[in-house]
Amino acid sequence: MQRRVIQIIIIYLIGLAYAMYLTSDFLLGILIVGFMIYHIVSIQNLNRTLEQDLDTSVRSLQYRLDKSIQEKKATLEQVLSLSDSFSFGLLMLDEEGIIQLANKDMKHYFDLELDQKPYDALRTIEKLYDFVHQSYILESNLRRQIVYAGADYDLISTPLYENNIFKGCFIIIHDITILKNAEKYQKQFTADVSHELKTPLSTIKGFSEILLRDQDIDTDKRNEFLELIQEESLRMERLLKDLMIIAQMDRVDYELELVESPIDEIITETYTRLSRVMDNKSLSHSISVEPMTLAVDPYKIRQVLSNLINNAINYTDQGSIFIEGYVDETDYVIKISDTGIGIDDSNREQIFKRFYRVDKTRSRKTGGSGLGLSISKNVVQRHGGSISVDSKLDEGSTFIVRLPHKDNAIL
Ligand code: ADP
């Protein structure tokens, strides 16, 4: 700026000297000096205005930039707090590969502190790191399932673009462990059902083929084969009935039909219905039940009691069966005790699983489907209760059903 003023002064002084040399007019000299001063002052004023304008522009630019950064930060915080309420993990990288957002679930799944760190921070979890790395490098949609610390995760990445320029990527992480387990369980269940159906079916097929092929079989043998065919058909029928109960209970909208019912009468009815079978097996039996009205699904509770009493009969060759029902502080307690074969420690929990039998041959002889206890457990739990067993091998078992009353009841 100073240089410019000096240049102007030099030009005017040259002009003044030349004018003086030509005209020696003093007034002309004063006029030129006047112009020079006016020129310098104008230039200085102009510069000052320009500087002020520049200052204002820079300040307004700075202000707008700050505002935009603050807005972005606020939006990010909003997204973060919103994403914390999602039931899936969320990770957002910017174009530099810096983690701008990692929600609560994401941190919880992988136990990492990630905010504002480069995605290299994920290296400890190799499969997750590989996925994030590829999403970032390839700038495209990706999907992959990984297993980490015994849990299954479904990863989906989406690139973010602004005016066709890559701005980072979003990665959504779903914990699909429950789904995967359900899938595994479903596969196992289908395999078990097929296996259970295979034996009676091949028996029916085999004996019916013999009967059709060999017309000379004597009547006794023919009857024996026909009885076997009937037995296996009944087994299949029972299995299908139990499977239908399971299918019904597995439905999401399944609900018990709770009715205030005299639980003592339900127990006595079931006991009386089955006492003829106990008599036929020469098993002594008795019952002692305290009266009480309880909110239960009577049909389902009857099924549970039938199953437990039938088991007591099937797994007891001699001795007795005793049914007890009484009220304690929290529950109505039903005990079904037998002096049968008993269950050892290693099988006590297992017997409540679908298709689990301690002795397959014995269970087959009694026509059991291996589903009774698992159905019973499900029904009792849906009533808010529990089922357990006390047992000693070769001495007998006591199955204990607890159904909550009043304060604990599910009504
Ligand atoms: P099942 O149709 O085989 O009886 P359950 O689910 O009712 O199927 O029972 C599962 C297994 O638990 C039975 O196969 C048997 O091994 C065992 N179990 C059940 N009740 C008794 C009992 N009262 N005494 C001894 N073992 C029992």
Among residues 43, 76, 109, the one where a domain terminates is 76
**Does residue 359 line the site of ligand 1, with CB under 6 A?**
yes
Among residues 175, 192, 210, the one where a domain terminates is 175
pLDDT at 307: 96
Q: Measured between alpha carbons, how far is 186 from 350 in angstroms, rounded to an integer? A: 18
Query: How distant, in Å, are the alpha carbons of 153, 184, 395 from that of 178?
Result: 10, 10, 40
Of 312, 311, 377, the closest CA to residue 338 belongs to: 312
Sort strands 259-262 and 284-289 into parallel, antiparallel or unpaired. unpaired
- 189 and 159 together in one domain: no
Question: Which residues, at least 6 apart from 326, have a Cβ–Cβ distance to it below 8 Å?
Answer: 288, 289, 290, 332, 333
- 95 and 69 together in one domain: no
Q: Measured between alpha carbons, how far is 300 from 26 in angstroms, rounded to an integer? A: 127
Angle between helices 298-314 and 372-382 in degrees, nearest 10: 140
Ligand 1 geometric centre to CA of 203 (Å): 23
Atom index in ligand 1 nearest the CA of residue 359 equals 16
Q: What is the CATH number of the domain that holds 145?
A: 3.30.450.20
Q: Measured between alpha carbons, how far is 284 from 18 in angstroms, rounded to an integer? A: 146
Ligand 1 geometric centre to CA of 353 (Å): 10
**Does residue 311 line the site of ligand 1, with CB under 6 A?**
yes
- 268 and 344 together in one domain: yes
pLDDT in tens, the chain (411 residues): 678 788 888 888 888 888 888 777 788 888 888 888 888 888 888 888 888 888 887 788 788 878 877 887 777 777 767 777 778 898 999 999 999 888 888 888 988 887 788 999 899 999 999 999 999 999 989 999 999 999 999 999 999 998 889 999 999 999 999 999 989 988 988 998 998 899 889 999 999 999 999 888 899 999 999 999 999 999 899 899 999 998 888 888 889 999 999 999 999 999 999 999 999 999 999 999 999 999 999 999 999 999 999 999 999 999 999 999 999 999 999 999 999 999 999 999 999 999 998 987 777 777 778 999 999 999 999 999 999 999 999 999 999 999 999 655 554
Q: What is the CATH number of the domain that holds 314?
A: 3.30.565.10
pLDDT at 126: 93
Among residues 133, 159, 175, the one where a domain terminates is 175
- 136 and 103 together in one domain: yes
Angle between helices 372-382 and 219-250 in degrees, nearest 10: 30
pLDDT at 1: 60
pTM of the model: 0.68
Ligand 1 geometric centre to CA of 16 (Å): 126
Element (H, E) at 131: helix 126-138
- 372 and 405 together in one domain: yes
**Does residue 264 line the site of ligand 1, with CB under 6 A?**
no
pLDDT at 409: 53
- 289 and 159 together in one domain: no
pLDDT at 212: 92
pLDDT at 334: 98
Ligand 1 geometric centre to CA of 296 (Å): 24
**Does residue 341 line the site of ligand 1, with CB under 6 A?**
yes
Residue 400, in any domain of the structure: yes
- 399 and 271 together in one domain: yes
DSSP notation for 170-237:
EEEEEE-HHHHHHHHHHHHHHHHHHHHHHHHHHHHHHHHHHHHH-TT--HHHHHHHHHHHHHHHHHHH
**Does residue 337 line the site of ligand 1, with CB under 6 A?**
no
Q: Measured between alpha carbons, how far is 304 from 287 in angstroms, rounded to an integer? A: 17
Residue 254, in any domain of the structure: no
- For atom 19 of ligand 1, the residue with the nearest CA is 311
What is the domain extent for residue 319?
A: 259-409
Ligand 1 geometric centre to CA of 311 (Å): 6
Atom index in ligand 1 nearest the CA of residue 371 equals 6
**Does residue 363 line the site of ligand 1, with CB under 6 A?**
yes
